[in-house]
Structure 1
Amino acid sequence: MDRRILADLLGRNDDHVAALPPDVFDSHRDGQRPGVVSVCCSDSRVSQEGMFAVDEPGFLFTSGAIGNSVSALVDGERVLDGSVAYPLRHTHTEVLAVVGHTGCGAVGAALAAARTGEFPAEPGVRAAVEALLPIVEAGLDDPAVVGEGDGEAVDGTTDEDAESDAGVSVRDRLVEYNVHEQVAFARGSDEAADATVYGFVYDLHGVYGDRDGVAYLVNADGERDPAALRDLVGASHDDHVATLL
């Protein structure tokens, strides 16, 4: 039993309580109406509240999933995950943000599975990687991901971080590809039919630019053209638009 971690958790909660204004929950105790539901990859380096500087309750409905997957398998059918469907249908949330991140281990695991047939041993982790596998396999057939060639990295290697012809790892290109696929799946669901769906990649490796922690907009309701996305965000935020594909 790690009592040190327990003490750290409770101490951090004390800090949280001390920082709360006395009336912070007054307008939220009996319900919620968050403006955004975000789906981010399950990763300790990628804080959903942190990346959007959310320090108050009631704005961001968060869902974490391996590979920032928006789907779940129910009775053999892939459907919109309940943690996404619930706020869209029951809390009047109108915006869904799908957030991938550079260096994603889940995408790397699916890439390794595509190339070697090997999966993580844990059943739950394996299931999540298996759900990503068709996306990764499709991405490996896309020249925008691997360059012109036979589905391997252009240098002939099979390493998950092998570079494409633009000097960016295949894995990071697949991260963005996966975001696009997750956005498309969400937009095709009944629950998200009236929602605005944005796709982001959170950069902690300097892949898209030279500032760590930037959430780069790569997709807005299926629109992927950087010029159109810059028009959408305006001049004050056009440095948040970039693409690897």
Structure 2
Amino acid sequence: MATTPAFLEELLAGNRRHVESLPDEYFAGVQTSQHPDVVAICCSDSRIPQEHMWGFDHPGAVFTPSNIGNQVWDEDEGERIVDGGLLYPIHHAGTNVAVVVGHTGCGAVTAAYQVATGDDLPGPQGVDKWVNMLVPVVKEALESGLIDREADEETVINQLVEYNVDHQTQFLREAENVPADVDIYGFVYDFQGVYGNEAGCAHLVNVNGEIDPESIEKLVPAEYETATESLLF
């Protein structure tokens, strides 16, 4: 009998623990359909717990597409279109809240910044496609006056992360196939203490196009005011 590779066995054992931990009827409400309250597009990064970051412990609450750089678009025959992972729950599952979630220290934004400032694409081709789509956003950001170009690279990258979240939310707000009654929010997930001392805090940086921190602060209960800080203002 062949020996099971160690990590494969770890995956199987982990799934077994998962199965045993589930309460009875855990999937009862979602076995035949789904109606997630929110679609949250995150960066494809193993450090971002896409459902747990919101405190959900039941299936069917969050539709979770992800890609390199939490980009809301894709390209089709040279045209930039809204990613199907975002559109599906909005058009077919009754979802009326869309969230863009960037994160501190984003490798995709870092790569796009390096390309925008003269370095080569990181490769391979499948990665380069998504980095290339971010490069114009980074170039626009660097010319916007919102980025402290004299700061250290870590600071610049994190400011670019926030700028990218704003840019992605704006694209959604202007897209014809995203209904006007869909609320669109932008967050930056901070697990590095960039915005403050609350590791794992999702900082609300965009509410339906509003990006001024003081204005956003007025939209949320006082207890969440520390989650409305910005690196751009």
2:175 and 2:160 map into 1 onto residues whose CA distance is 23
1:83 and 1:97 map into 2 onto residues whose CA distance is 12
Letter in 2 for 1:113: V
1:77 and 1:105 map into 2 onto residues whose CA distance is 25
| Residue matched to 1:81 | 83
1:41 deviates by 0.5
Letter in 2 for 1:180: D
2:142 and 2:214 map into 1 onto residues whose CA distance is 26
Q: What does 1:44-193 correspond to in 2, within 5 Å?
A: 44-146=46-148, 153-154=149-150, 161-162=152-153, 169-193=155-179
1:19 and 1:52 map into 2 onto residues whose CA distance is 20
Letter in 2 for 1:184: Q
Structure 2: gaps (5+ residues): none
Letter in 2 for 1:8: E
Among 3, 11, 14, which residue is 1:12 paired with? 14
1:191 and 1:51 map into 2 onto residues whose CA distance is 28
Number of paired residues?
229
Percent identity for Structure 1 against Structure 2:
43
TM-score norm. by structure 2 comes to 0.94
Paired residue secondary structure (2:18): helix
Among 222, 226, 229, which residue is 2:209 paired with? 222
Query: Contact conserved, 1:202 with 1:216, CA < 8 A, in 2?
Result: yes
Paired residue secondary structure (2:100): strand
Query: Contact conserved, 1:88 with 1:191, CA < 8 A, in 2?
Result: no
Q: 1:2 to 1:121 in 2, by over 3 A?
A: farther
Q: What does 1:197-208 correspond to in 2, within 5 Å?
A: 197-208=184-195
Alpha-carbon displacement from aligned partner over 1:118-163 (angstroms, at most 9, x marks no partner): 10120010000000000000011122112xxxxxx326xxxxx526
| Residue matched to 1:150 | none
TM-score norm. by structure 1 comes to 0.90
Alpha-carbon RMSD across the aligned residues, in angstroms, is: 1.5
Structure 1: gaps (5+ residues): 147-152, 156-160, 164-168
Q: 1:2 to 1:192 in 2, by over 3 A?
A: farther
| Residue matched to 1:158 | none
Q: 1:110 to 1:2 in 2, by over 3 A?
A: farther
Q: What does 1:7-46 correspond to in 2, within 5 Å?
A: 7-46=9-48
2:41 and 2:113 map into 1 onto residues whose CA distance is 21
1:117 deviates by 4.1
Segments ≥4 residues shifted beyond 6 Å: none
Letter in 1 for 2:203: Y
